[in-house]
């Protein structure tokens, strides 16, 4: 199991990030996170015992694949993330590469990460984390919409992004700022969701230990 949790790594990052961007912009992002927590998980978000939907996805080299063919009747941990531009996503994907992937491989479980980025963005995510698991693009958030987990940065947050020199819409395949809530699903071989953790606050991510426990519980049901 990992020596340092994702939450600890996020705390370390936030300390430096706040110092870098200043209190004013930090307050904008903090306010956005507070509003997201208050709104909670969307009422139509899929959860435990729901059937996973299907949609067309893109590989990093631009080839079209279906989500169902990627799962291919195998137990799969599916990670929805916002994009390579998101530092919290990069922290999380690196932690999953280092600490989660080996545990899943021991159990014969596959790991798949999905974002609404262009195929080039997907390739960047793989490079950022030196990722050895499958990373795919969900153009237009079609699959994420079917999971019921799509949101959009607040107007104030998007203005803050602009001040920092980027726009989410520049990274997304559909040129919008829509992104999935960072979410983790464990899907069994029959396509049924057996674990769902939807992170409405994008700075709070599913820990490796929680995912491994969820996978291990599959044998108990």
How does the average pLDDT of the chain come out, rounded? 95
pLDDT of residue 219: 78
Q: Which domains does the chain have, with CATH numbers?
A: 6-220 (3.40.30.10)
pLDDT of residue 127: 84
Asked whether the beta carbons of 81 and 92 are under 8 A apart, the reply is yes
- Is the pLDDT at 1 greater than 60? The verdict is no
Q: What is the mean pLDDT of residues 185-195?
A: 97
pTM of the model: 0.95
Measured between alpha carbons, how far is 141 from 148 in angstroms, rounded to an integer?
Answer: 10
At residue 195 the predicted structure's pLDDT band, cuts being 50, 70 and 90, is very high
Buried b (16+ CB within 10 A) or exposed e, 137-158: bbbbbbbbbbbbbbbebbeebb
Across the chain, where does the E strand assignment appear?
A: 56-58, 64-66, 76-80, 110-115, 134-137, 150-151, 179-180, 183-187, 193-198
pLDDT in tens, 41-63: 999 999 999 999 999 999 999 99
Query: How does DSSP classify residue 136?
Result: E
Query: How does DSSP classify residue 52?
Result: P
Higher pLDDT, 114 or 130: 114
pLDDT in tens, 96-126: 999 999 999 999 999 999 999 998 889 888 8
pLDDT of residue 221: 59
- Is the pLDDT at 188 greater than 70? The verdict is yes
| CA distances to 10, 37, 66, 116, 146 from 54, in Å | 32, 28, 7, 15, 8
Asked whether the beta carbons of 102 and 38 are under 8 A apart, the reply is no
Token output for 217 = 């519980």
């Amino acid at each position: 199991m990992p020596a340092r949790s994702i939450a600890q790594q996020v705390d370390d990052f936030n300390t430096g990030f706040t110092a870098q961007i200043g209190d004013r912009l930090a307050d904008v992002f903090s306010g956005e996170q507070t509003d997201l927590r208050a709104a909670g998980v969307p009422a139509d978000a899929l959860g435990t015992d729901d059937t996973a939907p299907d949609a067309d996805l893109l590989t990093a080299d631009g080839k079209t694949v279906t989500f169902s063919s990627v799962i291919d009747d195998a137990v799969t941990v599916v990670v929805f993330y916002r994009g390579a531009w998101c530092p919290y996503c990069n922290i999380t994907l690196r932690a999953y590469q280092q600490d989660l992937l080996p545990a899943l491989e021991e159990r014969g479980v596959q790991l798949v990460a999905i974002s609404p980025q262009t195929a080039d963005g997907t390739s960047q995510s793989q490079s950022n984390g030196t990722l050895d698991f499958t990373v795919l693009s969900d153009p237009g958030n079609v699959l994420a919409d079917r999971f019921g987990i799509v949101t959009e940065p607040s107007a104030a947050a998007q203005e803050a992004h602009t001040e920092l020199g980027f726009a989410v819409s520049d990274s997304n395949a559909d040129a919008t700022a829509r992104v999935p809530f960072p979410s983790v699903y464990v899907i069994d071989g029959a396509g049924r969701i057996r674990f769902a953790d939807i992170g409405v606050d994008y700075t709070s991510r599913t820990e490796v230990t929680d995912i491994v426990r969820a996978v291990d519980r599959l044998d108990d049901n």
